[in-house]
Amino acid sequence: MTTFNSAEAYAPASMGNVGVGFDILGLAFCEPGDIVRVERRLDGTDIVIESIEGDGGVLPRDAAKNTASVAVKAFLKMIDASSGVCISLKKGLPLSSGLGSSAASAVAAVVAVNALFGEPLSCEELLPACLEGEALVSGYHADNVGPSLLGGITLITGTSIQDIYRLPVPENMHFALITPNIAVPTVEARAVLPQMISLKQMVSQTGAVARLIDALYRNDLQAVVQAMESDEVVEPARAMLMPLLNEARTLAKQKGALGLVISGAGPTLCAVCDSSKTAVHVADALQGLYDEAKIGGVARVTKVDQTGARVLNVL
């Protein structure tokens, strides 16, 4: 097995649910993302977190409590390696933001350590280790890990690679994201969800998911967004956690967006546009909305990342 002294990898942000597909749809954003660097330890077999940047000192430095190190441990077990590893994490993603922050850290770490050991596993074979890291924070599901690792828009029907399906990406799909300066932990966002829904709601929700997938295959962005906005179960339950949700949706459409949904568990909101120019106008308007409300936030313009996680360098 070819090994290196160090390796660095990048994993993109992701949006779980894609509006109406709770826990079964996800997509990767071109930006932002996390970068993880791993190095072989010559003085022991432990996994050590050497540094974390960009988290404001919030993330645990204990290797047993960080998604990146837990995922690396799972990978090393998969390849039956006992080497020690040092991990350096650069957070490009805000925490508790609805952008798949914990998933990106786990994915970037596993892709990096796989490169460190000469890539004994394929990208698809890395999924279980990534899921072990994600499970530490957000549960054992792949609506963020899948797209962050593989890229694109994905349908996720389980936790094995055979359960992840790549869906078509409309050519003119652009996003304006606004991440308000508040945190919505995934556990809190899940706690407000209804445990029971009516048969009528189930039929409506499954129909909307079917319309969304159909529209993707027809490259009909307008129909895609109409389906994305059709959630009658999750968004209504979480709306109270998202400041200015209705105002943001109205403003985004006034500026040319086709629609707006909550990204994952929120509070990031994702406006879908049909051009980069429109996305810039919408992002600027959303930034102004939250600044004027004294909430503040970070607006971004991005597209679907069709590549997924990748190795940046090995030495």
CATH number of the domain to which 103 belongs: 3.30.230.10
CA dist 78 → 75, 113, 116, 139, 256 (Å): 5, 12, 14, 20, 48
| pLDDT for residue 304 is more than 80 | yes
Domain boundary among the residues 167, 192, 207 is at 167
Domain boundary among the residues 143, 167, 191 is at 167
pLDDT on residue 1: 65
pLDDT on residue 21: 97
**Pick from 258, 133, 263, 123: which is nearest to 186 by CA?**
263
User: Residue 280 is part of which domain span?
Assistant: 174-302
- Quick: pLDDT tens for 186-221: 888 889 999 999 999 999 999 999 999 999 999 999
pTM for the full predicted model? 0.95
Instruction: Judge whether 229 counts as a catalytic residue.
Output: no
User: Phi and psi (nearest 5°) for 198?
Assistant: -80, 165
Instruction: Judge whether 247 counts as a catalytic residue.
Output: no
Residue 14, CA atoms < 13 Å, CB-side half-sphere: 36
Helix (H) or strand (E) holding 29: strand 25-41
Marked catalytic residue, from 186, 268, 278, 302: 186
Judge whether 309 lies within some domain: no
**Cβ neighbour number for residue 255 with a 10 Å cutoff:** 19
CATH number of the domain to which 279 belongs: 3.30.70.890
Marked catalytic residue, from 134, 154, 268, 278: 134
Claim to verify: residue 136 and residue 222 sit in the same structural domain? no
Torsion 26-30-32-34 (CA) sign? positive
Q: How far apart are CA 295 and CA 19, in angstroms?
A: 24
Radius of gyration of the chain (CA): 19
Out of 9-13, 134-138, 230-234, 248-252, pick the least confident: 134-138
| pLDDT for residue 137 is more than 90 | no
Claim to verify: residue 33 and residue 150 sit in the same structural domain? yes
Number of domains in the chain: 2
Mean pLDDT over 172-199 rounds to 93
Mean pLDDT over 155-162 rounds to 95
pLDDT on residue 188: 87
